[in-house]
Structures are given as structure tokens and as C-alpha cells.
Amino acid sequence: DGGITQSPKYLFRKEGQNVTLSCEQNLNHDAMYWYRQDPGQGLRLIYYSQIVNDFQKGDIAEGYSVSREKKESFPLTVTSAQKNPTAFYLCASTPMLGSPSSGNTIYFGEGSWLTVV
């Protein structure tokens, strides 16, 4: 079945550590996104990518890094520079605007819970 897979579902980070959240999609979507959601809050855009080897910063990119070496993969690294990383992280993908399937729904992964210990 097609979809987006995020892993791990739960992750604990020690102070000063970098951690990487995985996001893989087999939908052949061009655009991929990372959002952060704090408890009881909305979604804030961290990074997005419209094409391989290219990505743009969102509203809260500081302390995070991404790569897009393959179309199907968009991993997010939470670096030690991110002082308050405890949150729910959501990955999403969509066909590129203007593509034959544009206007279709956006697919979200199941999310990853990151906690600092």
C-alpha cells in the first residue's frame, strides 16, 4: 500500500545529542514537509522540499537540518542547538502543484514523539 512511514514513533534524546527522524514515502510525491506540533498547539513548518537536493526553511528551522538525497526520503535531524525539542513531529507529502494529480489530498505520516530526558 502507498503511504508515508515515519520512524521511530517514540524517541528519547539526551541533552547535547543529535537525533534523526526518518520519513519515507512510496507515493512518488515531489513535495515533502516537516512540521512540529507542541501539545495543544497548531502545526509549525520546519522545512519543506519540492525536489531532490533542494529544500526551503520554514518558520522554525533553527536547530534542525534536513536532506533530500532521494525523492522518497526526507529525514529530519534535531540538533543539539534545538534547546526545546520535545514535541510531536509530523511528516507530509503531496504531488507538485500543476502535476496531473495536483489538488489531491496531502498525506501525513503517523508522527514521531520526541522527548528530551
Partner 1 sequence: ELKVEQNPLFLSMQEGKNYTIYCNYSTTSDRLYWYRQDPGKSLESLFVLLSNGAVKQEGRLMASLDTKARLSTLHITAAVHDLSATYFCAGTVYNDMRFGAGTRLTVKP
Which residues of this protein are in contact with partner 1, per CB under 8 A?
31, 33, 35, 40-45, 48, 50, 56, 58, 90, 92, 94, 96-97, 103-106, 108-111
Shortest approach of partner 1 to residue 104 CB, angstroms? 7
3-state helix, strand, coil in the chain (%, to 5): 0, 50, 50
Amino acid at residue number 90: L
Looking at beta carbons only, is 51 or 81 nearer to partner 1?
51
Residue with grid cell 514537509, as numbered in its chain: 33
Nearer to partner 1 by Cβ, of 18 and 110: the residue is 110
Cell, residue 8: 521511530
C-alpha–C-alpha distance, residues 32 and 34, integer Å: 7
Residue closer to partner 1 by CB (options 75, 111) is 111
